[in-house]
Every structure is written in structure tokens, then in C-alpha cells.
Amino acid sequence: MGNTPFSKEILHFHGRTAPETGFLTGYGAVIQHFNLEVPVPDTLALIIQKNKNYSRPGWIVFGPKYQPSDTLTGHLVFALKYEGVNLLFFKKLFEKLDQSDVVKIILSEYSGQYIRKIWFLYEWLMQEKLPIADLTFKNFVPLLDEKLQYANNVSINSSRHRIRNNLPGTINFCPLIRRTKKLEEYILKNLSEKTTKVISGVHKDILLRTSAFLLLKDSKASFTIEGEKPTQNRALRWGKAIGQAGSKPLSKDELLRLQQIVIENSRFVDMGFRKKGGFVGEHDRTTGEPIPEHISARWQDLNTLMDGMLETNKLLEEIKFHPVLSGVKIAFGFVFIHPFEDGNGRIHRYLINHVLAKMKFTPQGIIFPVSSAILERIDDYRQVLESYSQPLLDFIKWKKTPENNVDVLNETIDYYRYFDATNHAEFIFECIESTIDTIIPQEVNYLRKYDSMKAWLDDKFEMPDNLVALLIRFLEQNKGILSKRARTKEFEALSDSEIEEIENKFISIFQE
């Protein structure tokens, strides 16, 4: 492994500026030392000469007493102790090391809890047993430190390593989420219970109409995010599908069914799971060459990845993992894999609703308009997607095909099954809170005002429902004033004094 030092004094690292000069430690030091083909973790560890510990965005800073021995073992133990488990890092590191080097690390402190974690991770990730005898003493320790990362509350004991495997996923799909202050605050808010309180006093008729409107609103928003303007029938059809989220088990056949609903005209799309490469991005206007912003998983890996994702989804349901965190792992895993030629984005957002409904986070009959909330934060959404997709481009080798698609040349499967979904979870929690605090109450409030205005018009003018709807729409569009065109056409039967009375009533109800 050489004698080059691991820990180097830095102020800048991979375009990131440290809060102060210090020694890069833990995962960052090992990534730098071996030039590992992994994205730099969202948070890096730094050792400074002052006796103080603190954190800043992208950094955790420690005083000199935390400095580990400047060896691979020392930095790995530090990383596991203070930074949590990074599955992608360990997989790429183990691929780079000779097996004999890993054996030496483990035998150096055979029974230490962090060495046992490294031992377990090697055999789990590489699916290969090392020539080391089973450990027959020591208490079992959890693989994930629940103070650092969200773990499976139903662990499986590995008696060989004396490790409790509490990974919330399977070998073929296991994104992890760090326990941050922001996520803890959201979880403590109990947004599921808050939703129930928000709708508890709403009349059933208004609640049903609210739900129907939100489904259509969410359907249209999901198409808008993709740069499409669907026909009303197409939007209604996808809205109906969103309304059924959680009613059917997730499977490959179910995903194929959803794609059939999303793609109205399949003449120019190869439906089903891809049998070729894929990417998100543009084509050069002159040459037609691909300019990827995200490169999809290799089509040869789709069976393994999709089976892994579906198995993990089932596991998360069984162990009652937090519904929002579960939805994030499944939905963003799906969109990173990008298994279809088209329809991935809309199904990705559907999957958030599916998991929330299936795990009973949302009240029965109510679907969160996640796409609507995302559309209001579209720049943040793109940043969240790119925070993982963009760094991956450095590690994916590809060539263009004659059809100006991409053909991936190296093994990339691990990038899609082991990723950090912390930023994605924080973003989706923001969207859900916005739905509960703003979007649902606004629609309920609007329908109450609409019904009040309609009742007054019915009583005063005995106006038919279709004309009431048209009148209110015209008044909304013109800030409570009926246009001259409407006065002389659709509502020519009304006198000037009646129109003035209607306008005043509209303003008193809708602008109170």
C-alpha cells in the first residue's frame, strides 16, 4: 500500500474550501490517497490544531486529539466512527486492494468493533469469504451507528463477525441517509399526524373535490417538469393513476403498466425496460453528439438493479422504515437507474406518492401533490438531482453510438445501488411540509369560498351550474371585475346594477 502519507494539510479540496487549514482525514484522505473513483462525500472530516470541534456545511472539524494514526486502518476506523458507513467507498476500495492487505487489516485488531465492521463489509460487498476463522467472543455491535445514519430496526446477526447487520436495504440496492438536524426536526414534526389535523374539520364533499383537483394539478405539474403540455384527457388519465398510488404492490409489471399510462403515443418510443444505453441531457446542435447531464445505468444491469430496488422496497415496508425516507430511497433510486427510454421522471414522482400511501403516511383518499410542490422549487429539485448525477459523469466511461446515444464502457452498477440520499430526503420533506401548510389549505379555502359564492348566485339569480362556473372564472381572471366582452355576450341578461352587486359580492367573499 506504499508509504505515502494519507493525511495532507489542505485548505481547498475538489473545489471545496475548508473553514480553515487542516488535515484531511477519514474518507476524504483515503479517496485522495488511492484516487478512488467515487464522488467526494457531502461532508468531509478535517483535523485542525486548535482544541475545538464544530461543523460547517460540507465539513466536520475536529481538534488534534482526534487525529488517527496516518494509516489506512487508522483512517477507516476514524471514518466509521465519525462519518458513518459509505458502501460505495468501501466497494471501490476493496476492488483496489489486494485481498491479503484486507486480511492484514482485520488480523491487526481481530476483535475491535470497527475492524469487525470492515471485515463484515468486505464479505458482504464482495460476496467472498476471507481466510479468517469465525470470531467466537465479543458482544454483537450494529453495523450502522444510529446516531449517524438511519438504520434497519430489525437487524440480522452475523455470528461470524459478531455484527448486527442493520442495513436498510439489500446487497443489490441500499442507499443510505445520514441523520441530520434538519431531518430529525422534520421527523419530530410528525407530518402525517399534522395532515390528519389539517383535513379533520373539512366537509367530506369538499375533501373529495380537493383531492380530485390536487390529482389533476399534480398530474399537470409532473408533465410540466418534463417540458410537456398534455391534453386534458392525458392529464386526467395520469391523475387517476396517481390517485391509485399505493393500491397495488410494486413490481416490474406494475412499473410497465404505469409507463403505458404515461406514454400516450408509443410509436416513437421503445416501451419497456431499456435494451440500450440512456442519458438525460442535450444533443450538440451541429454534430448531434450527446451532451449528458446524467448517464443511466447500463441496460445489462437493469434486471439486477430493479430486482434489488423492489426487494428493498418490500423490506422497508416490512420493517416500517420511515415512509418519507423509504419513498426517497425508492423514487430517487429509480430515476437514477432510469430503466425506461421515456416516462422515468413522472413515474419517479409517482413512486413517492406510492410509498407514502402504501405505508399509510397519507390519510386515505388524499394524495400529496408532490409534483406541484416540486414545480414551485424546480431549481432546487434540479440541484438535488444533479448533486449526485453530475459528479458521477467523471467516473463513467462511454462512447457515442451511431444513433447518438451513449454506450457505457465500464462497470457502473455500484453507483446506482449505493448512494447517499440525505439531500434528497431533506428536499422531499420540504415539499411535503409545503403541501400540508399551503397547497391543501389553499384549495380547501378556495372551495369553501366558491361554494359560498355559488350558493349566493343560486339564491339570487337561479343561475345554472355551468354559468356559475364560467362567471366565477371570468371574475377570477379579471380581479373581481367582469369584462366588457363578458357583459355583452355570456352575461348580457344581467343589468349593470346586478353586475355591480355580483362583483361586490365576489370581492367580499374571495378577497376577505
277 occurs within a structural domain: no
Task: State which H helix or E strand residue 322 sits in.
Answer: none
pLDDT in tens, the chain (512 residues): 556 788 889 999 988 999 999 999 999 999 999 999 999 999 999 999 999 999 999 999 999 999 999 999 999 999 999 999 999 999 999 999 999 999 999 998 888 999 999 999 999 999 999 999 999 989 999 999 999 999 999 999 999 999 999 999 999 999 999 999 999 999 999 998 988 888 887 888 888 888 888 888 888 888 898 888 888 888 888 888 888 889 999 999 999 999 998 887 777 788 899 999 999 999 988 998 999 999 999 999 999 999 999 999 999 999 999 999 999 999 999 999 999 999 999 999 999 999 999 999 988 777 788 899 999 999 999 999 999 999 999 999 999 999 999 999 999 999 999 999 999 999 999 999 999 898 888 888 989 999 999 999 998 888 888 899 999 999 999 889 999 898 988 898 899 999 999 999 999 998 76
Asked if 240 and 326 sit in the same domain, the reply is yes
Give the pairing of strands 156-158 and 163-165.
antiparallel
Asked if 154 and 193 sit in the same domain, the reply is no
DSSP letters, 450-512, are HHHHHHHHHHHH---HHHHHHHHHHHHHTTT---HHHHHTTTTTS-HHHHHHHHHHHHHHHT-
Asked if 431 and 334 sit in the same domain, the reply is yes
Quote the radius of gyration of the chain (alpha carbons, Å).
28
Residue 22 sits at φ, ψ, to 5 deg, of -170, -175
Give the pairing of strands 16-25 and 44-47.
antiparallel
Give the pairing of strands 44-47 and 59-62.
parallel
258 occurs within a structural domain: yes
Total structural domains in the chain? 3
- Could you tell me the three cell numbers for 263? 406514454
Asked if 448 and 370 sit in the same domain, the reply is no
Distance CA 239, CA 249 (A): 19
Buried/exposed 113-127: b ≥16 CB within 10 Å, e otherwise: bbbbbbbbbbbbbee
Asked if 130 and 26 sit in the same domain, the reply is yes
Distance CA 232, CA 239 (A): 10
Asked if 341 and 399 sit in the same domain, the reply is yes
Asked if 336 and 224 sit in the same domain, the reply is yes
What range does the domain containing 496 cover? 444-510
Distance CA 15, CA 44 (A): 12
Asked if 51 and 150 sit in the same domain, the reply is yes
Cα dihedral 71, 74, 78, 80 sign = positive
275 occurs within a structural domain: no
Asked if 149 and 240 sit in the same domain, the reply is no
Among 390, 413, 439, the domain boundary falls at 439
Distance CA 258, CA 181 (A): 36
Domain of 340: which CATH number? 1.10.3290.10
* Stated pTM of the model: 0.91
- The helix/strand/coil state of 374 is helix
